[in-house]
């Protein structure tokens, strides 16, 4: 892993802990709930947790926080494992599950009851909310708060045995209903849910809440630094309270960092799901989705995503990160590593009238302008070729560096040509260009000293192949689509996907393997679609366009 050592407040804490001897080995964990797909925000968390373990010669567990069977599934578990691996990380040992600690957690619940620290409460959800008080007013004690230990033990056992209906009873910690921290107002430890669990089946009808489970899971696994996002900060006193009141085998500590909020995107599971459900995108792995699987299909690389996470840093402030930074990371990676090729998106035929009709000249082009190890590719040149319609104008000002009637242009990796005439139909639409080659310009400037102003890409009409090309742009046209409740649906970019059914690609590109990355010169970075691409029917997705500083003249 080439991740540079992190230098942030978490590393500072870890270094101090290592130096003081509080911990001898750093153990972190990435604890997703298997109720959805991983997105760019999770990628940051993964990068932080695995990165810190790696940088300190420690370990990082992958633990599914599966305490709420209603929303979870095995399918999500498998997808998450695949995403973590794809990002380039390997967890320590076997995958862990909170559910495999259910018996231990229950035993600890009994322990709290025995010590007078927890009680069974009969309040309904509505009543409980009312008893809880508000942000500014203290709550009131539950009428069941002073039940005897014996009675609580009996009730808890019967909850576990399935004697009560869902919602009829909960187990709560006895802390302080007047605490200014809402999380300390007798939080719920167990609730009754008579649904099968994807891991434990019908073994349980009561399930622990996040608060009662997380810290203890960390203790069981010997997690030294339990890193989560800022919104859990208020839960830390509770996290510590459980560890203080239970005979846990270790003493983990919780630390929080600021969530990643990229501009022009939404990352809440609810909103992403809405995009999928309403058909705005084709699925969770649609190339426009900020999910790990979506970015993968779009053509982002694990290295670029990791690099991006390093670039943005890890702090306790939460701001909006400009997606331009993510775009920079992927361009930077692909510029260095992607093989070059030529693809004409908006074809305009050019007939080279001086070139023999049946002649096929096999030229050679570098796989990469400054990396010989990426080899060369054969490039057939013929009398009829396609160029992009945007690369020709009948007349243009001096800033236009492409083909202009009566002027010259360099065909990338081939000859310099000069446009002689425009062929139009009755409606005045351009059908083709007639041009001629300038002899001796293969790898050489024109002998007459009249150098072309620009270079354009092209594909042989006779030897090229057609391909479907999907041009993706940002899903949202608003910098902060997440602002407001449902407003994000109003900011969807109607042009986020343009499908070109018949683009022309040079023959070498038909050999692309699914998920292979390319730079289509002068256009951008593209990837052969993970699912739809084949040699028989090539399909490429635009990952990101090339940086374009050309201001039209």
Instruction: Kindly state the smallest distance separating residue 192's Cβ from RNA, in Å.
Output: 6
Burial of 445 (0-12, 13-18, 19+ CB in 10 A): middle
Closest to RNA by CB, 320 vs 432, is 320
Distance CA 447, CA 440 (A): 7
Site for RNA in 413-442 (CB under 7 A): 413-414, 441-442
Residue 449 as a binder of RNA (CB under 7 A): the answer is no
Distance CA 26, CA 79 (A): 27
Closest to RNA by CB, 316 vs 424, is 316
Distance CA 437, CA 2 (A): 48
Give kind and range of the element (H or E) at residue 114: helix 102-114
Instruction: Kindly state the smallest distance separating residue 311's Cβ from RNA, in Å.
Output: 5
Identified catalytic residue from 140, 193, 251, 269: 269
Residue 375 as a binder of RNA (CB under 7 A): the answer is no
Write the interaction track for RNA spanning residues 200-239; mark x where CB under 7 A is met and - where it is not. -------x-xxx--x---------------xxxxxx----
**Of these, 1, 150, 182, 196, which contacts RNA (CB under 7 A)?**
182
Closest to RNA by CB, 168 vs 423, is 168
Instruction: Kindly state the smallest distance separating residue 256's Cβ from RNA, in Å.
Output: 8
Residue 410 as a binder of RNA (CB under 7 A): the answer is yes
**Of these, 4, 5, 162, 167, which contacts RNA (CB under 7 A)?**
167
Closest Cα to residue 343, out of 288, 387, 399, 398?
387
Q: How far apart are the first and last CA of the chain?
A: 46
**Of these, 73, 100, 141, 183, which contacts RNA (CB under 7 A)?**
183
Residue 134 as a binder of RNA (CB under 7 A): the answer is yes
Residue 78 as a binder of RNA (CB under 7 A): the answer is no
**Of these, 136, 362, 425, 427, which contacts RNA (CB under 7 A)?**
136
- Helix 102-114 and helix 149-160, axial crossing angle in degrees, nearest 10: 160
Burial of 144 (0-12, 13-18, 19+ CB in 10 A): middle
- How many residues form the binding site for RNA (CB under 7 A)? 90
Active site residue 474: no
Active site residue 377: no
Distance CA 312, CA 259 (A): 11
CA distances from 544 to 96, 366, 423 (A): 37, 22, 34
Site for RNA in 306-335 (CB under 7 A): 311-322, 324-325, 327-328, 331-332, 335
Burial state string for 109-142 with b = 16 or more CB within 10 A and e = fewer than 16: bbebbeeebbbbbebeeeebeebbbeeeeebeeb
Closest to RNA by CB, 59 vs 197, is 197
Closest to RNA by CB, 368 vs 436, is 368
Burial of 372 (0-12, 13-18, 19+ CB in 10 A): exposed
**Of these, 36, 521, 538, 540, which contacts RNA (CB under 7 A)?**
521
Active site residue 29: no
> Which active-site residues does the annotation give?
33, 259, 269
């Amino acid at each position: 892993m080439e991740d540079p050592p992190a230098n942030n407040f978490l590393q500072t804490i870890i270094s101090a802990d290592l130096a003081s001897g509080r911990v001898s080995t750093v153990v972190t964990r990435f604890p997703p709930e298997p109720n959805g797909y991983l997105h760019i925000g999770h990628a940051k968390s993964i990068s932080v947790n695995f990165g810190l373990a790696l940088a300190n010669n420690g370990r990082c567990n992958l633990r599914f926080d599966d305490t709420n069977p209603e929303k979870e599934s095995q399918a999500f578990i498998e997808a998450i494992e695949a995403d973590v691996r794809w990002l380039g990380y390997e967890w320590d040992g076997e995958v862990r599950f909170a559910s495999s600690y259910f018996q231990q957690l229950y035993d600890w619940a009994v322990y709290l009851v025995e010590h007078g620290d927890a009680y069974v409460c009969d309040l309904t959800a509505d009543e409980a909310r009312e008893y809880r008080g508000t942000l500014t007013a203290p709550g009131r004690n539950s009428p069941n708060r002073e039940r005897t230990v014996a009675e609580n033990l009996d009730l808890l056992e019967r909850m576990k045995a399935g004697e009560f209906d869902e919602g009829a009873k909960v187990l709560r910690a006895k802390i302080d209903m007047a605490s200014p921290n809402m999380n300390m107002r007798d939080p719920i430890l167990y609730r009754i849910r008579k649904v099968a669990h994807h891991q434990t089946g019908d073994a349980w009808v009561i399930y622990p809440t996040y608060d009662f489970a997380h810290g203890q899971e960390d203790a069981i696994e010997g997690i030294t630094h339990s890193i989560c996002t800022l919104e859990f900060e208020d839960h830390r006193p509770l996290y510590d309270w459980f560890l203080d009141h239970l005979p846990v085998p270790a003493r983990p500590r919780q630390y929080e960092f600021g969530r990643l909020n990229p501009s022009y995107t939404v990352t809440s599971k609810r909103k992403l799901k809405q995009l999928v459900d309403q058909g705005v995108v084709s699925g969770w792995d649609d190339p426009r989705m900020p999910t790990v699987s979506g970015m993968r299909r779009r053509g982002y690389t694990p290295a670029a995503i990791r690099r991006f996470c390093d670039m943005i840093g890890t702090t306790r402030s939460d701001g909006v990160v400009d997606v331009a930074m993510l775009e920079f990371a992927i361009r930077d990676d692909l510029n260095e590593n992607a093989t070059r090729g030529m693809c004409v998106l908006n074809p305009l035929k050019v007939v080279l009238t001086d070139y023999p009709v049946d002649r096929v000249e096999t030229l050679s082009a570098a796989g990469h302008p400054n990396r010989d190890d990426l080899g060369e590719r054969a490039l057939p040149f013929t009398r009829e070729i396609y160029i992009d319609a945007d690369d020709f104008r009948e007349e243009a000002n001096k800033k236009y560096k492409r083909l202009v009637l009566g002027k010259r242009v360099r065909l990338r990796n081939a000859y310099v040509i000069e446009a002689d005439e425009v062929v139009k139909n009755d409606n005045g639409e351009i059908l083709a260009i007639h041009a001629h080659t300038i002899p001796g310009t293969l790898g050489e400037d024109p002998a007459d000293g009249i150098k072309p102003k620009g270079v354009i890409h092209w594909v042989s009409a006779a030897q090229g192949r057609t391909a479907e090309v999907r041009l993706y742009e940002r899903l949202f046209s608003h910098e902060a689509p997440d602002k407001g409740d449902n407003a994000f649906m109003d900011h969807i970019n109607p042009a986020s996907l343009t499908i070109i059914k018949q683009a022309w690609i040079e023959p070498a590109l038909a050999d692309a393997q699914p998920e292979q990355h390319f730079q289509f010169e002068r256009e951008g970075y593209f990837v052969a679609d993970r699912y739809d691409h084949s040699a028989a029917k090539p399909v490429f997705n635009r990952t990101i366009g090339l940086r374009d500083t050309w201001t039209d003249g």
